[in-house]
Amino acid sequence: MSRKLSHKNPTNLKTFYYGAPYYPEHWDAATREKDPERMAEAGFNVVRMAEFAWDLMEPREGEFDFSLFDETIARLGEKGIATILCTPTATPPRWLTRAHPDVLRVNADGVTMQHGSRQHACPSSPVFRAYSRAITRAMAEHFADNPHVVGWQTDNELNCHFSECHCENCQVAFREFLREKYHDDIAALNAGWGTAFWALTYSSFDEIQTPKNGKPAYANPAHLLDYARFISWNITRFQHEQVEILRAANSQWFITHNGTFRHIDYRGEFTQDLDFLGYDVYPFFDSDPTHRPFSQAFNLDHARAWSGNFMIPEQQSGPGGQGNYFHDNPEPEEIRRMAYTSIAHGADSLLFFRWRTCRFGAEEYWCGILDHDNIPRRRYEEIKQLGQELKLLGPEVLGTHVRVDVGVAAADMDVYDAHETLSLGLPSPWQIAALVHGFFYKRGYAVGCVHPADDLSGLKAYIIPHWALFNPEWVPNLTRFVENGGTLIVGARTATKDWNNNVIAETPPGVLASLVGARVAEYGRQNAPDKRPLAINFPKAKVPTVHWYEQLDVLPGGAVMARWEGRLHLERKPAVMMKKTGAGAALYVGTYFTEEILEQLLPALQERNGLAPLWPSAPEGIHVVVRENHEKRLWFFINDSDGFVSFENIPEGEDLAKPRITGKFYLMRNEVAVVKQLRVPTDSNG
């Protein structure tokens, strides 16, 4: 498969699907009676079903019963509601785990997982994989000609609860992965892992085990990273078997999966196997209502960085409660606003989790659209209102991508996992990307997350937070970006580790040194910045630093933009460098990004690249996002403030959500306006 994954890709959907995951297996026929009609009234055109119903569909080995789903799909179909089915492999039935206990996962303490919740079976198990293929094939063949089944979701949230398994099957599969990766050459593995350290040398692949960090001491970071890669490879292979079966049964179906979780490379084969990625949205895991709009926006932009626009198979529709937590109840119109936020940031379809709150099981307080008593209340009314609005807006967003002027490097599994193997107590690339994203989002810029191997054209600025692990293959793309006029900003510690997760032999930033015109002469951690404060002296301000300092040397073409201050041995030593190449420039910042530091870099972006907020006159509290293609531009104005906001000077065009009144938008708390503008061919932006 060679489909190019890019943040700019729309999905291939021709319909904006709107609906909910639906669990007919939880309810009696009388309670289900009105469901299709109520869903149709809410504007639904899809439901997702069956991801946890293996026990019902195959009550005994090899005996299949799809009657409940046949009937439900038909009743929904009569009301114009299509179905997305799921392979039910997140919850293998008891007859399977009882007959084959070796399918159960084992954690790092050697404890075997029990039947009794979900995700208890291991994708390394040949037995589990055979049963998974069998149920997938039985479902695929049974539903192949059902006109109401439009697509599939593989499994459910792979790696959500459990990914690092140490069962016997994983030992075998891990060795298989390593043999393939190192071409059966154990000397190559020893060299790649640096096994000379602590006498770790292996004489055969059969000796290798899955790593258990901290048991007893720190594990080898190269071993740990290869293990994370193995987990991704293994789950990709597991999913691929299902995808092959589904595609063979009906090539018209779309296939998706709802991510995103640890140890899966969603920029790799995992997603290339799918039509598009799914991304589940639960904003209330951020308990701070004032920060929630930022975390939701970042998470969505981050999800889009893997492969482009996505479907949302699950978006929060009520408070979630499980174990020892219970979210705040979304206030009136909050669910609707958060759905608009998802659409603005790249959703090409959206389903609310879930239709009706279940009365039993581990998620009996995970609230859906309808309450336990099956009475539609304000959540239903709100979702119905959005259903009406989406009749107009839904088709308009398809085929558009989200505009990005400032890209933040994100969405690389290897980089994230490498950080976890040896973090030095420093913030993760993910955390800093969120900080950088929030800085620009708050100020109204079109900020997004973009992988360094992706299409960088159209971006004015590109920021790489602190990516210690770095692939030299990305350098030509970054160089081209700079030559074409872009401004690249590279943060400290970037490109200090090779792809094996070992430290590079060259002086940092290694493969990036000549592009940024700087070299790191000395570096250090700042564990007590209040006791020995350091600061960078920018032309307009002196900014204290945290976490890390780097004293830089100037390479040919490099110019010093700011210098260190605070400790005698660093006094006036270069801290921030810039080098011009072609029409653009690359900056190197010898510390960790903070809002204060970004504030000092912003003028360079404004002057060099004409970087400006999307809609400069938008008032505070209104977040602006643009989706566009060569024909049109859709402006989203989202009232994320806690109060009423009105503003004039708004784009000309057709109002797709809230109509303007005498040229002004009056947006109550949680309200959203969307303006559609047609683009003229000379319009060059985006």
Given the rule CB under 6 A, which residues bind ligand GAL? 156-157, 160, 280, 314, 320, 322, 353, 363, 366
Shortest Cβ contact with ligand GAL: which residue? Answer: 157
Bond into 509 cis (ω within 30): yes
Residue 322 Cβ, how far from ligand GAL at the closest point, in Å? 6
| Residue-wise DSSP of 595-648 | HHHHHHHHHHHHHHH----SSTTPPTTEEEEEEE-SSEEEEEEEE-SSS-EEE-
Residue 530 Cβ, how far from ligand GAL at the closest point, in Å? 40
- By beta-carbon proximity to ligand GAL, the closer residue of 197 and 325 is 325
Q: What distance in Å separates the CA atoms of residue 104 and residue 127, rounded to the nearest whole number?
A: 11
Residues 81, 22 contacting (CB under 8 angstroms): no
Q: What distance in Å separates the CA atoms of residue 627 and residue 620, rounded to the nearest whole number?
A: 21
- The percent of the chain in helix, strand and coil, each rounded to the nearest 5, is 35, 20, 45
Residue 211: in which H helix or E strand, if any?
none
Q: What distance in Å separates the CA atoms of residue 132 and residue 194, rounded to the nearest whole number?
A: 38
Q: What distance in Å separates the CA atoms of residue 281 and residue 353, rounded to the nearest whole number?
A: 9
Residue 313 Cβ, how far from ligand GAL at the closest point, in Å? 8
Residue 282 Cβ, how far from ligand GAL at the closest point, in Å? 7
- By beta-carbon proximity to ligand GAL, the closer residue of 21 and 407 is 21
* Strand 535-537 relative to strand 542-544, pairing: antiparallel
Residues 69, 76 contacting (CB under 8 angstroms): no
Q: Which amino acid is at 196?
A: A
Query: Tokens at residue 576, please?
Result: 């921030």
N- to C-terminal Cα separation, the chain:
28
Residues 514, 535 contacting (CB under 8 angstroms): no
Please report how the helices 334-344 and 292-307 are oriented relative to each other, as an axis angle in degrees rounded to 10. Answer: 30
Q: Locate tokens 């071993």: which residue?
A: 223
- By beta-carbon proximity to ligand GAL, the closer residue of 311 and 534 is 311
Residue 154 Cβ, how far from ligand GAL at the closest point, in Å? 13
Residue 51 Cβ, how far from ligand GAL at the closest point, in Å? 7
- By beta-carbon proximity to ligand GAL, the closer residue of 338 and 463 is 338
Residue 257 Cβ, how far from ligand GAL at the closest point, in Å? 11
Residue 387 Cβ, how far from ligand GAL at the closest point, in Å? 21
Residue 686 Cβ, how far from ligand GAL at the closest point, in Å? 33
Residue 219 Cβ, how far from ligand GAL at the closest point, in Å? 29
Q: What distance in Å separates the CA atoms of residue 172 and residue 125, rounded to the nearest whole number?
A: 10
